[in-house]
Amino acid sequence: MLKAVLFDLDGTVLDTLPDLNACMNEALGNFGCPPITLEQTRRYVGNGGLMFAARALPESRKGDAEYFYKNVYCPVHFACKNGRTKPFAGEAECMAALERAGIKRAVVTNKSQRAADELGETLLKPYGFSAVFGNRDGVPVKPDPTLALMALEALGAAPSEAAFVGDGETDVQTAKNAGMRSVSVLWGYRPKEVLVSAGAERFARTFSELAQILLSM
């Protein structure tokens, strides 16, 4: 039986894509750049805000990525009230089942700690996560395992006693780098073939399936 499960945030426990797209397009407009589509946003997220910003900028402005991210995108993103963000169907039931089984849970995301904390105090609060670990200074983003290992230490679980759940290739790689098992969800922002290429072996199409897989590990 697992002692702990770490969850990715964007595309795994919350559908944040509409807000991410709206925030980026507002920032791009403020920077005199064209908007990106929802599908482009889906492809660009997953490796942290700076990489999202670099991918969203037109080729001629990519050299401004760090300035744009810190001074244009972040203020817009931090002011976002997440009005378009929603949980996925069946999430509450899955988390309740893990709670009954005594499995501790935390979120580990490449989203900035400030933005992650905002969601931790609002939309994520009903689901009983012990902590939310986001991108912070001095700690590399996933797929580096550092943040995941910090989360496991806080939960009092060893990598061999835990699983990482996510929708992206970085989550599969993070689990492998941390010595954890992993489950890839198929309702998120990456197609199955991308996950398979990253080494994913377990897949859940719904939160109900995810609960069954985790409770049997």
Catalytic residues: 8
d(CA 107, CA 3): 15
| Region of residue 27 (phi > 0: left; psi between -120 and 50: alpha; otherwise: beta) | alpha
d(CA 174, CA 133): 14
Beta-strand pair 86-87/14-15: antiparallel
Phi, psi of 182 (to 5 degrees): -140, 155
Q: Check residue 161 and report its DSSP letter.
A: G
